[in-house]
Structure 1
């Protein structure tokens, strides 16, 4: 099946996987992931669950561009943990996904090839448990407007079934909406054509 240019594959819900080798145990945790600001909380959550683990290595990929990613070996030899985790996400064509792999050291050194295999296999085991879904890449915009324009704004939101991320009507009218990439130019022009509307791009998810 051919995909639209703004369609990507990701996991539907948190996942776990495991791999054991020579006494060492590698436990992989995968999370749907759209905002880098969530990294600290998710990493803390896993570390609190495994405070005695030797390493908490991770990799994530965001968006459809293969250059938007981050890896961390957390004390393992360079390139032996974060990179194989990321490569496993890439080989499964997954994005907007964070994978954290916890290692309990079993007393026997595995060597760099052994570590690469272990982190890759634990990650793949978690992915094998996942429900893979297709989602559309969307841009988040913030709209500021006056109360009399509320009906016009809501009509555009309803006509294209846009997701409202956040809204605040207490002091002034502010709304954050998600617009699918393939229609963002058309919708941005429609919002901008309304009087006294301020439209600001925030991020892509």
Structure 2
């Protein structure tokens, strides 16, 4: 996994509402950390319910560091005047796993294509600037399954290498989960698998 994929920026929690006004129209920005398209859809459904009387609920998101999902939606505004500038602010900030929504309440004065694009851009920019940005790092989660007679060998290896145990179940059938850096995970897995009777499973997660 490259260094770019090892680390990425996202937001630590929900931000907004952040209000932007343009010629009597109100544009209200929200930002949400989301790790799946399903999570984004749930946030959108909740926001639309909260603002059931809004003229438009427009959005953009970028989800996934490897298989990235990009989406933008103008929700009835002229094409590319809402979703595109919102998504543009997400990508300009270098953020992933982020959904930005801008709720518009029409104020009675038409803004034109240029005015709309500027308003949605500023609303998205404002809410992202109010968000707490964090960096997430890829780590490997290693799951070990073995019988109790192998416990001393396994625990000796863990202690010797100062590995972080996140969960453990010590019975006749033992299970231990470890978190290690992605750079060292392959070597650790090979050495653990060399202990007779130890089944090793690995997956990448972001923390």
- TM-score (normalised: structure 2): 0.72
* 1:64–1:95 contact (8 Å) kept in structure 2: yes
Cα RMSD for the two superposed structures: 3.7
Q: Quick one: distance in 2 between partners of 1:196 and 1:107?
A: 69
Query: Residue 55 of structure 2 contacts residue 105 of structure 2 at CA under 8 Å; is this kept in 1?
Result: yes
Q: CA offsets, 1:56-109, max 9 Å, x none? A: 111111234695322122222221111111110111111121111111111222
How far apart in 1 are the matches of 2:73 and 2:137?
27
Q: Does 1:13 align with 2:7?
A: no
Large movers: runs of 4+ above 3 Å:
63-68, 141-153, 158-164, 172-205
> How do 1:1-205 and structure 2 match up within 5 A?
4-5=3-4, 6-16=6-16, 17-64=18-65, 68-137=69-138, 145=145, 148=148, 152=154, 155=158, 159-161=162-164, 182-183=183-184, 185-186=186-187, 189=190, 195=197, 197=199, 199=201
Runs of 5+ consecutive residues of structure 2 not aligned to the other structure: none
Larger RCO: 1 or 2 (CA < 8 Å, sep 6+):
1
- The C-alpha deviation readout for 1:144-192, integer Å capped at 9, x for no partner, is 8466588959x59x9554767xx99xxx999998776555545665676
TM-score normalised by length of structure 1: 0.72
Contact 1:57 1:102 in 2 (8 A): yes
Q: How many residue pairs get matched?
A: 196
| Structure with larger Rg | 2
Cα deviation, residue 40, structure 1: 2.2
